[in-house]
Amino acid sequence: MRIAIRHGRLIDPAHQVDATIDLFVAEGRIAGVGQPPAGFTADRDIDARDRVVCPGLIDLCARLREPGQEHKATIASETAAAAAAGITTLLCPPDTDPAIDEPAVVELIRRRAEAAGQARVLTLGALTHRLRGERLAEMAALQEAGCVGVGDGGRPVASTRVLRRALEYAATFGLTVFLTPLDPALGHGNAHEGQVATRMGLAGIPAAAETGVIARDLELIRDLGVRVHFGRLSCARSVELVARAQAEGLRVTADVAVHQLHLTEIDLAGFDSQCHVLPPLRGLRDRDALRAGLANGVLGALCSDHQPHEPDAKQAPFGDTEPGISGLDTLLALSLRLAADELLPLSASIERLTWGPARILGLESGHLGVGAPADICIFDPEADWRVEPDRLRSRGRNSPFLGWELSGRVTHTLLEGRVIHEA
């Protein structure tokens, strides 16, 4: 289908475009920007007046719960939620059940995502067999099966010896390694170690559980030259370490979950289990450092860290609940709030959701240049909405933002030139 998107405010950070320009789509690709190609006749016109037209969002961490935890969510349910949120590409960590440590699991996820047809689902292969941190997974076979990288799936490798061998193996095949900076020996807790956790009687996780692992890993990266991405940083010191490594020329990138930019340990008041996340919500200084790191580009991407749960998972004493937030539905609106609060320009917010993660993954998408895949998000930046359970498309309704008033609603989402969502 040939589609003309007219009168919209086109924001394409990759090409530094922010202007009212028409966009033309044909054969699943961007066919023209500003002017249609010769002989172009639209099968459909979309009036994007008073709306923003940008690349489809790319989420670097979204647990879809399939295979293994279909009682929480499925690939079909969560990709439909992603489409409604303007997200066209999701990266699935390897901590499924079974773990993504063999090609058959990669193929299962690919087929079910294609059958759903609502979003592009990419997979990370397991760094070690069954994610147990004991022996290496067959990374070459996983890469051949379609994995765009390998990772620890939120289960960090405790053994430095095993991790070094895994990084060497990944470097041999040019794979990006996605690491969770958390020391398992220090990470047995459910809140940031500090006065709030002490007052509430909660087991604390110190900042050193994150920063110590990053310092160790950076030394291995320096020795091996491997490309590493640190996922979901939470501490001010972590941002400093990554910034210094980047200045030294190490092949290191990092992201932050959007909820870490809006919430802190103070939000644990009342033992709200919706705020039970891992890494934990930390202090105001940490939040401000994460915001600054996002603004100056040290943190190259925003992600949802999507973890949908069934209601029972959050209905217990705080320490006994399962950590995680259902984040697909609010990813765009919370990112736009950063721009509204003048923490960074709108184009920069969109860049961290599109071109930034595309570069980390080495994708050809994430921009709207001629010839790029026609993955497009169209949203109304002024549309206000209240976050309520029945308005969330994800099967998971576990969000600490319930009751918040947000701005920004997606009106159209296109995946490779197909309209997969229309409000």
410 within 8 A of 378, measured Cβ to Cβ: yes
One of 305, 341, 380, 390 is an active-site residue; which one? 305
Q: With both helix axes pointing from N to C terminus, report the angle between 160-172 and 208-224 in degrees, rounded to the nearest 10.
A: 50
In the chain, the amino acid numbered 193 is E
406 within 8 A of 333, measured Cβ to Cβ: yes
CB within 8 Å of 134: residues ≥ 6 apart:
128, 159, 162
182 within 8 A of 238, measured Cβ to Cβ: no
Query: In the structure encoding, which two tokens stand for residue 313, read together?
Result: 């998972």
228 within 8 A of 164, measured Cβ to Cβ: no
HSE at residue 239, side-chain half, CA atoms within 13 A, is 21
Say which residue the tokens 């930390």 belong to. 282
Q: With both helix axes pointing from N to C terminus, report the angle between 103-116 and 75-84 in degrees, rounded to the nearest 10.
A: 50
Phi/psi region, residue 360 (left: phi>0; alpha: psi -120 to 50; beta: rest), is alpha
Q: How far is CA 176 from CA 51, 164, 179, 252, 273, in A?
A: 36, 14, 10, 10, 34
Q: Is 264 buried (19+), middle (13-18) or exposed (0-12) by CB count in 10 A?
A: buried
Q: Is 47 considered catalytic here?
A: no
Dihedral angle of Cα 245, 248, 253, 256, to the nearest 10 degrees: 40
Q: Where are the beta strands (DSSP E) in 64-152?
A: 87-92, 120-126, 149-151
Cβ neighbours of 103 (radius 10 Å): 17
Q: How far is CA 184 from CA 112, 180, 315, in A?
A: 33, 10, 25
Catalytic residue numbers read 305
